[in-house]
Structure 1
Amino acid sequence: MTALVIGAARSGVALVAHLAAAGEKVRVADRKPAAELQSALAQMPSGVELSLGGYDEAVLDGIDVVYASPGVPWDSELLNQARARGIQVSSEIELFLGLCRGTVVGITGTNGKTTTTALTGDVLAAGERPVIVGGNIGDTVLDRVDEITPQHWVVLELSSFQLESVQRPHLHVGVILNITPDHLDRHRTLERYVDLKARAIEDADQALLNSRDALVSGLARRARGQVLWFDRHQPQPPMPLPGRHNMENALAAAAIGRIAGLKDDAINQAIRNFKGVEHRLELVGEWEGVSWYNDSKATNPDAGRGALSAFPGAPVILIAGGYGGGFDLRQWVADVLANTEAVILIGASADELAKELGAHPKVLRAQTLNEAVSMAAGLAREGGVVLLSPAYKSFDMFKDFEDRGNQFKELVRQRFAA
């Protein structure tokens, strides 16, 4: 058996290691040259055939199965060429789900997936069964599949890209937190995006849904198993992170804990001790009476809205803008007008946002993140908040949202904590 792995990022590295250990011949294809993949290549076993810096249909010659990384569109030309040749097309997450012996909880949604996944892991860890957390949260799972027993809880963050590669995933608990338009540059229509999210619950034993979200609640009829509504969970958990969106994340995690048979005291203690997730409304620090928050993971306007409503009554200086477009900005603009004292715009979307925020009394432009931090420091006053919550993706100025958030934290700490 000869396998082709397309994409040498984290999931690709995990795939290569697993397939090679199983005795399969492996070929890796990536459009990036070897010089940009040194870290990934160093983690791969010897004997792997490499096709780097670009590829064409010839890379399929002699291949029995193709595994595509999440960043590869499921309808890409190469994958369609593979299907036309009768070659099976799969993915890391599909292979993992077929091999996993544990009880799987799959969590998806447009926003809040990572926080809810991490929090659910903490909640389930309060019980007696071992817990594995992974998926889109950043930790691969295929490299841990051999250690998973039937006693394990496995908590997976599932993106639309991952769900696209699994036709009917069978999960014990499928969770959909919320749905708003996102990734339409890849999925093209909202209907397609919703259909992909629905895969998390269509064949699940239990579907955990949000009755406050019209698109999510409308999917209840597509669930094969029992439907539960996490937003109705009682008692309300003691979520330490600010914002209504974080309370919804906590309600989902608490409802999963209840499904797992945990007592409310254990669930609430785990939630009370939760420290949050990096780049998700993360407190960088407080200096001169001003709190600085990194919400770089807010890569769309709906994600940004959650942070905007998290500091009622506080004078908020917002840093926003980035890469992307085609969003309906009306609700985000309304929240910015209602909850911010000043807005500093960066990135490719700055011109569009400046026009949309024409009614705001103080909108400024910064050419760099460093300049934005300096401007925010000059505007902020005691008792206030400086909030990096871009509401756009990061690729115009940064490697990814982690890079954007890390640069922000470093700039703030250099300024105040040196």
Structure 2
Amino acid sequence: MDLTGKQVLVAGLGKSGIAAGALLKKMGCMVCLFDGNEKFDRSAWEKTYPVFSDCPLWIGELPDAAVQAMELAVVSPGIPLDTPAILKLQAAGVPVVGEAELAYRFEKGRVAAITGTNGKTTTTTLVGEILKKCYPEVFVAGNIGIPYTSIVEKTTEQTVTVTEISSFQLETMETFHPSVSAILNITPDHLDRHHTMEAYIRAKEGITKCQTKEDTCVLNYEDEILRKFAETLKVNVLFFSSKRPLEEGIYLQENTIWIAGKETERQRLIDVGELKLLGIHNYENVMAASGTALCMGAPIDVVQRVLKEFWGVKHRIEFVRDLHGVLYYNDSKATNPDAAIRGIGSMNRKTLLIGGGYDKNLEFDAWIESFDGKVKCLLLIGQTKDKIAVCARKHGFENIVCCDTLNEAVNICYRLAKPGEAVLLSPACASWGDFKDYTQRGELFRQYVMELPE
């Protein structure tokens, strides 16, 4: 892809935008910058990123004259496509692509791509760990926190890239063509962005758009949406299931994960007791990761070895501390109710649960119902605390404490929790508003817990 001398707009100046702009400059583009946040600190940003000092930069509103001059616009995943600036660009006929799509256009190696509402980061990380044992150079990037554009220049015909891809990124994909894709599950999320469940599903399913009959899509058989979607696909489909044996695919039966083929005898992959990961949702992640890695050419013995060694990822049911017989867990990555259901499902003791955060227009009924006598107290923070409290009381759960800050919630848990119980941060909401992202929320939770007195 030759962009030399072309005038390209980068919209959104967070991590993805910075990486995209840096790549475009190296490719000889005339890079222009835009951020819709009127409070954006221009002077501080320019001091931090002097490489962009010669680039025009617009804040708040994109001028019509600037729009007319652009030959391409690269939009960061956090910017909705129905914002005025993006609509203006599209109306003017300016091609609009996402940061991940831009990266793929420079990709030289094979790609495995993972999406889904929950489990993406754990699965992507695990696939990366397996493939690193199989190939000389493997990159792990995307929604996992490493912009795809920051690594794509290093790819060659021999490299493998494992990408975590969000629905926001999939909205702007045009040529993205993974050799193996995986859709882990689809449950309500980001409806403030996609507006309808149908649009959200359509975005997720778009990961297969450019795949051919030579490629494979790994799907969750127990997700009704994905099971129906498989009937429409012209690619190879590999199912995994946590509830039933499959004639062909990967499945959990009692405490063993098996691999079955139509023309081969089933083969034991691993017993779940050998895993360091907890919970059915993690067994699903293991099956999806194993299927993806095997389809990318990983030998089964390598897969088995890495599965036994893998500790999981930060902020996903991460053990923090045992204090006076109370176990503290950080599940900050549970940014929607379905993820939080999986979090509470992993607890094997009475739990004081910290939830709440940014409102993505989601419903919390199923989350509250999943407490099933396990939650001793629900401590709520953030924009959704009143909404969740009303929902909880509607379902007969009354032991609720609304807190002003996460630190206050942690300290109340410290006073209320008894030996043999657990404290779990599993918010069921995004972190925006009170925190930069779920990572910062999780790190602060860890800090507050570690500061509790012995």
Q: Do these two structures clear the TM 0.5 threshold for a shared fold by scoring above it?
A: yes
Residues 185-334 of structure 1: pairs in structure 2 closer than 5 A: 185-204=192-211, 205-231=215-241, 232-233=249-250, 234=258, 235-236=269-270, 238-312=274-348, 314-324=349-359, 326-334=361-369
Query: Which residue of the partner structure matches residue 246 of structure 2?
Result: none
Counterparts of residues 83-102 of structure 1 (less than 5 Å): 83-102=90-109
CA distance in 1, matches of 2:193, 2:375: 32
2: distance between equivalents of 1:83 and 1:361? 50
In the TM superposition, residue 40 of structure 1 has moved relative to its aligned partner by 7.1
Residue 12 (structure 1) aligns with: 17
TM-score (norm 1): 0.94
- After superposing the two structures, state which structure 1 stretch, 281-290 or 1-10, moved more: 281-290
Distance of aligned partners of 1:143 and 1:361 in 2 relative to their CA distance in 1, 3 Å threshold: closer
Of the three residues 48, 51, 61, the one matched with 1:42 is 48
Amino acid at match of 1:411: Y
Which range is displaced more, 161-170 or 302-311? 161-170
Per the alignment, residue 158 of structure 2 pairs with 151
CA 37–15 in structure 1, closer or farther in 2 if over 3 Å, else same = farther
Report the 3-state secondary structure (helix = DSSP H, G, I; strand = E; otherwise coil) of the residue aligned with 2:231: helix
- What is the alpha-carbon distance in structure 2 between the residues aligned to residue 41 and residue 96 of structure 1? 26
Tell me the percent identity: 36
Q: 1:396 to 1:91 in 2, by over 3 A?
A: closer
Residue correspondence of structure 1 range 118-137 to structure 2 within 5 A: 118-137=125-144
Q: Does 2:452 align with 1:415? A: yes
Partner secondary structure for residue 331 of structure 1: helix
The answer on whether the counterparts of 1:325 and 1:349 sit within 8 Å (CA) in structure 2 is: no
Counterpart CA distance in 1 for 2:46 and 2:383 is 30
Q: Tell me the secondary structure at the aligned position of residue 442 of structure 2.
A: helix
- Cα distance in 2 for partners of 1:52, 1:192 equals 29
1:275 is paired with a residue whose SS is: coil
Q: When the two structures are aligned, how many residues end up with a matched partner?
A: 416
Question: Is 1:362 paired with 2:387?
Answer: no
Sort the Cα spacing of 1:208 and 1:44 in 2 relative to 1 into closer, same or farther, 3 A. Answer: farther
Give the letter for the 2:80 counterpart: P
Q: Secondary structure at the match of 1:311?
A: coil
Q: 8 Å contact 2:355–2:427 — kept in the other structure?
A: yes
1:3 corresponds in structure 2 to: 8
Residue identity in the other structure for 2:237: V
The partner residue of 1:380 within 417, 430, 433 is 417
How far has the Cα of 1:139 moved from its partner? 0.3
| Residues 337, 360 of structure 1: 8 Å contact kept | no
The aligned counterpart of 1:406 is 443
Query: What do the CA deviations read for 1:219-268 (whole angstroms, capped 9, x no partner)?
Result: 11232210111334222464312121111111111112221332333112
Separation of aligned partners in 2, 1:249 and 1:105: 15
Aligned partners of 2:170 and 2:207 also within 8 Å: yes
Between stretches 112-121 and 229-238, larger displacement belongs to: 229-238
The offset of 1:416, in angstroms, is: 4.2
Q: How far off is 1:134 after superposition?
A: 0.3
Structure 1 range deviating more: 189-198 or 359-368: 359-368
CA contact (8 A) 2:190 2:360 kept: no
Which segments of 5 or more consecutive residues in structure 1 lack a partner in the other structure?
A: none
- How far residue 168 of structure 1 moved from its aligned partner, in angstroms, is 5.1
- For normalisation by structure 2, the TM-score amounts to 0.87
**1:132–1:416 CA distance, 2 compared to 1 (3 A):** farther
Specify the code of the residue in structure 2 equivalent to 1:277: V
Quick one: distance in 1 between partners of 2:300 and 2:280? Answer: 21
Contact 1:10 1:40 in 2 (8 A): no
The letter of the residue matching 1:355 is: V
Partners of 2:383 and 2:372 lie apart in 1 by: 21
Letter in 1 for 2:154: E
| Preserved CA contact (<8 Å) 1:203 1:225 | no
- Which stretch shifts more, 366-375 or 261-270? 261-270
